[in-house]
Amino acid sequence: MPAPGWLPPGERIYAIGDVHGCAGRLAALHALVREDLAARPVPRPFLLHLGDYVDRGPDSAGVLALLRGSLPPGLPGLQLRGNHDQMMLDALAPGASGAALDLWLMNGGGAALASYGAAAGPGLAPGAVPAADLAWLGARPLRHAAGGYLFVHAGIAPHRALDDQRPQDLLWIREPFLSWRGRLPAVVVHGHTPSETPQLRPHRIGLDTGAVFGGSLTCGVLEGRTIGFLQA
């Protein structure tokens, strides 16, 4: 169907919304991406994940293992950081405050710990989440631009220039971004705010369809001035 943004000829981006520990769904969606690309080859494909790999779902550890080592071969890609990924990093950083740990646990961090065989509590041992996984999460960028699109986890502050966006906005914002009706310098492709179906608006495309809450895990397939969807 027509898309509100554009990509240069020969490019196709597969953009995947919030995973939240749904490792089986992610593996199935990657298989659909491979099948689609085999059926419809393109010179410059790109696989992009919009963040929130951990928390709430059953297998955060499995999601990170998949993203770190088993992406579809021959398909370049990038994984952005989400607010839940940042909460994990803040909670498990050396010298982190109890408030940071409490915030993470209140937002599904206990499920992430359980996927590593660890339990939440005052005696949370250092290394409950492997340092390599935390280092990988910490190295994830907050944004990616291509053609007429900007890919971020949550959205942008509409009144700020793109170069002036704060990490807090890119990771956490909902309003006034979601209901914005004015022009933006790029069409923003994002996750973070779940909905039953993908959201197509003149200024944004929302791809979080609530996989961890029983919805689908969605991949937006962007090419030229069109968009399609794969779901698992």
So which residues are the catalytic ones?
84
**DSSP string covering 68-130:** HH-SPTT--EEE---HHHHHHHHHHSTT--HHHHHHHIIIIIHHHHHHTT---STTPPTTSS-
Is the separation of the CB atoms in 144 and 190 below 8 Å? no
155: tokens are 């959205």
Cis before 45 (ω within 30):
no
Residues in the chain: 232
Q: How far apart are CA 41 and CA 44, in angstroms?
A: 9
Q: How far apart are CA 7 and CA 93, in angstroms?
A: 38
